[in-house]
Amino acid sequence: MTRSEDAAKPCSASGAPGAAPRVLDLRPYACPLTYVKTRIALERIAAGERLEVWLAAGEAVESVPRSAAEEGHRVVSVERLDAADGAFRVLLEKGAPQAGGLP
């Protein structure tokens, strides 16, 4: 996948719990772009749906889950994607819209 392609690729019609989550492969990207792209993907799904984010080892593995949790999303899991390349899989569940947020 090249940087010019849209990295989000849906695995199923629904990212709801029990269904396959949408996958966002951000391994070629660095912070802060990793969370910018994650946030955009989260905005495009409904509350309760899940998003699987693939990240290269490093700062993004700490900052993406932390930033998502701070914005009210649930961090379901953080685990190694493949021991060979050191990548990680972060599974997020979109939270309900925050009261008092921007329209």
| Class of residue 65 by CB neighbours under 10 A (exposed 0-12, middle 13-18, buried 19+) | buried
**What is the distance between the alpha carbons of residues 47 and 4, in angstroms, rounded to a whole number?**
28
Of 20, 31, 76, 78, the catalytic one is: 31
**What is the distance between the alpha carbons of residues 81 and 87, in angstroms, rounded to a whole number?**
5
Give me the residue label for tokens 């080892």.
57
Amino acid at 91: L
11 catalytic residue (yes or no): no
Active site positions, annotated: 31
